[in-house]
A and B are shown apart, each in its own frame.
Chain A
Amino acid sequence: MNLRNITADKLVALYRNRDLTATEVIQGVFEEIERTDKDVRAFITLMRDRALEDARRVDAKIQAGETLEPLAGVPVAIKDNMAVRDVLTTCGSRILENYISPYTATAVERLRSAGAIVVGKTNMDEFAMGSSTENSGFFVTRNPHDLTRVPGGSSGGSAASVAAGMALVALGSDTGGSIRTPASFCGVVGVKPTYGRVSRYGLVAFASSLDQIGPLSKTVHEAAQILEVICGFDHYDSTSADTPVDEIVKGLDQPVKQIRIGVPKEYFVDGMDAEVKAKIQAAIRLYESLGCKIEEISLPHTEYAVATYYLIATAEASSNLARYDGVRYGLRQAANGGLQDMYRQTRMAGFGKEVKRRILLGTYALSSGYYDAYYLKALKVRTLVLRDFQKAFERVDVILTPTAPTVAFKIGEKTDDPLSMYLSDIFTITCNLAGLPGISVPCGKNSEGLPVGLQLIANHFQEGPLLQVAHQFEKAGGFLL
């Protein structure tokens, strides 16, 4: 059973009417995975037995005439940096190849409590460091729209699983664009919520001040449903925001007339793909036709964002990844030279090239003599980036940009040049630096049939209006521009 032509609410309605059983659906999902995933390779771990067990539980509820949870029997895929109890959590790394989680991440636990069925754990760039899923310690995931191209990253497996119809919705994590870029490349919806909105408990830390969990789905409505379930305070995460979660689904159908949309001039740079630019301009015209007010705005520090991000993210990563020393987690390499030697040998054997590169860069930025020049300076520029947005949101409700400067690139195209790979995140990382919520939605395909992504950004905790504006775009045919 391919899930490409069904949505979560329709599926649950079919269960309610007893037109389908969850067992049939989950069995069908694994048949589809068997057919499709040998080419796409979205999954690292499949959870067939547990998923079928969950499905039987849903079916028993239907049989007994009990009220079904909002996501009852909805098959979801989880990025492999989120803990699921008694299941492998590899984070795409050889260093965690055999690591089995003793507990479940809060976001996943909330999805399960809402009835969702986890079908598997998806491939990703190692420790979420990458924009293409080519940095996985295990294998490369391919874009379902063109198997010679990358699915984007780092949540490439999650995006590909939804785009290929192997999961209905998925969870990803976004540190610099890792949900939105793959959503854009795979032609699906991806949301990075406000920092602190979704608990990071059970999410393997990459850059703690930037990481945020969010949904990937085919429609904005499904993304809203997932957000309502996973958002909210959790005392297991010390940075969890204690801000009430508004009803998001309810507000989706409000018209967007009079909404002020800002278009930052700095996001329409030279060297941007002409077809991507044309689609974004078409999206702007569509919003105009819906009665929105389009305003050109300026976010002057945008050009410094990539540099700022790669200092802060790598500095935090170098600290977070110090825990992989062969003592508590996963891999341990035998060494003759004592404890220190064991640390080093384990980390050399377990980490891939990009992870080592970023640990070195982050350590350098934090090292004595360079801390002020690099790390502290980056934190100050982060303030400037945040101020740019604060100023802009005095004038506009939502900011509109492309998600990425290009469509999905070819596998291998950027692997030799880390800097060019970093620059593919140029439009997404500002959201993370400023802690803002952002969404990528499809806005048509280029002449080669490859999806283009439109990014919308809102002020802190404004997920409701953000998804409303995205939903109205979808309703007006924006996904097919």
Chain B
Amino acid sequence: MKISEADVEYVAKLANLEVAPGEKKELAEQLSRIVEFVDQLNKLDVSAIEPTAQVVTSVKHAIRDDRVSPRTGSSDAGKTVKLFKVPKVITER
């Protein structure tokens, strides 16, 4: 499949990326080549195959107990700092 400059612009918007106008053509060409390459997967019939998102065996738990435990190498920030000041990130339109 061919990726157009408009596709690049659309995907960049989804990804919160600004693409410089001069980069669009090159990116469209490079991505087209990569997408053409990955299109080889279409040669395989995988309709009856289950997807593998994660190859993990013997995982004990996905979440740990809600318990405070000291850990060496951790930040003291929680102990020493009363508050974190952050810059304003929400602006009016």
Distance A351 CA – B58 CA, assembled complex (angstroms): 36
- Residue of A104, A242, A307, A347 with most partner-chain B CB within 10 A: A307
- Looking at B17, B57, B63, B77, the one whose CB has the most chain A CB atoms below 10 A away is B17
A112 to B14, CA, bound (A): 42
Nearest opposing residue in chain B for A301, CB measure: B44
Render B33-45 as a binary contact track against A, CB cut-off 8 A, 1 for contact. 1110110111010
Considering only residues 61-118 of chain A, those with a C-beta below 8 Å from chain B are 85, 102-105, 108-109, 112-113
Q: Which chain A residue has the least Cβ–Cβ distance from B53?
A: A379
A308 to B41, CA, bound (A): 8
**A377 CA / B44 CA spacing, docked (Å):** 9
Please name all residues of chain A whose beta carbon is closer than 8 Å to the beta carbon of B71 when the two chains form the complex: 103, 236
CA distance A2 to B72 in the complex (A): 32
Q: Which residue of B lies closest to A316 (CB)?
A: B53
> What residues of chain B lie closer than 8 Å to A322, measured between beta carbons?
15-16
Complex CA–CA separation, A160 to B41 (angstroms): 36
Contact of B51 among A240, A303, A332, A379 (CB under 8 A): A379
Does A360 contact B12, Cβ atoms closer than 8 Å?
yes
Which residues of chain B are near A379, meaning CB under 8 Å? 51-53
Bound together, the chains give a CA A232 to CA B5 distance in angstroms of 47
> Chain A residues near B73 (CB, 8 Å)?
85, 103-105, 108-109, 112
Tell whether, in the assembled complex, residue B55 and residue A386 are in contact, meaning their CB atoms are under 8 Å apart: yes
Q: B63 — nearest CB in chain A belongs to which residue? A: A238
B14's nearest neighbour on chain A, judged by CB, is: A363
Chain A hits for B35, CB < 8 A: 361, 364
User: In the complex, A315 Cα to B17 Cα: how many Å?
Assistant: 15
Residues of B within 8 A of A38 (CB): none
C-alpha gap A383/B64 in the complex (Å): 29
| Contact status A359-B15, CB under 8 Å | yes
- Most chain A Cβ neighbours within 10 Å, of B15, B74, B86: B15
Using Cβ atoms and an 8 Å threshold, which residues of chain A touch B87?
A: 332
Tell me the nearest residue of chain B to A348, going by C-beta. Answer: B18
Closest to B91 in A: A338
Question: Which single residue of chain A is at the shortest CB-CB distance from B28?
Answer: A360
Residues of A contacting B: mostly = helix
Give min CB distance, B88 to chain A, whole Å.
10
A363 near B51: Cβ-Cβ < 8 Å: no
Asked if B59 and A241 make an inter-chain contact with CB atoms under 8 angstroms apart, the answer reads: yes
Residues in A with CB closer than 8 Å to B58 are: 196, 241-243
- Return the chain A residue nearest B75 by Cβ: A102
Q: Pick the contact of B31 from A239, A306, A327, A360 — CB < 8 Å?
A: A360
Residues of A within 8 A of B93 (CB): 338
Is residue B62 within 8 Å, beta carbon to beta carbon, of the partner chain? yes
Q: A307-B40, A383-B49 are in contact. Are A339 and B90 (CB under 8 A)?
A: yes
Pairwise interchain contact A363-B41, C-beta atoms closer than 8 A: no
In the assembled complex, the Cα of A301 lies from the Cα of B45 at a distance in Å of: 12
B53 near A209 with CB under 8 A, answer: yes
| CA A419 to CA B31, docked complex, whole Å | 9
B77 contacts across to A, CB distance below 8 A: 102
Give complex CA distance A332, B61 in Å.
36
Interface centre among B8, B54, B62, B77 (most CB of A within 10 A): B54
**What residue of chain B has the Cβ atom nearest to residue A364's Cβ?**
B11
Given A381-B46, A384-B44, A347 and B18 contact (CB-CB distance below 8 Å): yes
Asked if A18 lies at the interface with its beta carbon under 8 angstroms from chain B, I say no
Q: When each residue 352-389 of chain A gets 1 if its CB lies under 8 Å from chain B and 0 otherwise, what string results?
A: 00001101110110010000001011111111101000
Instruction: Assess the B41–A381 pair: CB atoms within 8 A.
Output: yes
Residues of B within 8 A of A235 (CB): 60-61, 64
Report how far A348 CA is from B19 CA in the complex, Å: 7
Question: Who on chain A is nearest to B10 by CB?
Answer: A367
A345 touching B18, Cβ below 8 Å: yes
* A242, closest chain B residue (CB): B60
Query: How far, in angstroms, from A344 to B15 measured CA to CA in the complex?
Result: 9
For the complex, give the distance between the alpha carbons of A41 and B75 in Å: 30
Knowing A418-B34, A435-B55, say if A304 contacts B11 (CB, 8 Å): no
Residue of A whose beta carbon sits closest to that of B13: A344
A377 to B51, CA, bound (A): 8
Residues of B within 8 A of A378 (CB): 38, 41
CA of A303 to CA of B72 in the docked complex: distance in angstroms?
45
Query: Across the interface, which residues of A come within 8 angstroms of B44, CB to CB?
Result: 301, 304, 381, 384
B30 near A377 (CB under 8 angstroms)? no
Minimum-distance CB pairs A-B, first 6: A435-B55, A104-B73, A379-B51, A102-B75, A380-B46, A348-B18
A-B contact pairs, 19 of them (CB 8 A): A109-B73, A196-B57, A235-B61, A236-B64, A238-B63, A241-B57, A243-B57, A310-B38, A311-B38, A311-B41, A327-B89, A347-B16, A351-B17, A360-B8, A360-B19, A360-B27, A361-B31, A434-B55, A435-B55
Known: A241-B58, A343-B16, A363-B15. 15 other contacts (CB 8 A): A85-B74, A105-B73, A108-B73, A196-B56, A239-B56, A310-B34, A338-B91, A339-B89, A363-B11, A364-B7, A364-B11, A379-B51, A382-B52, A435-B56, A461-B57
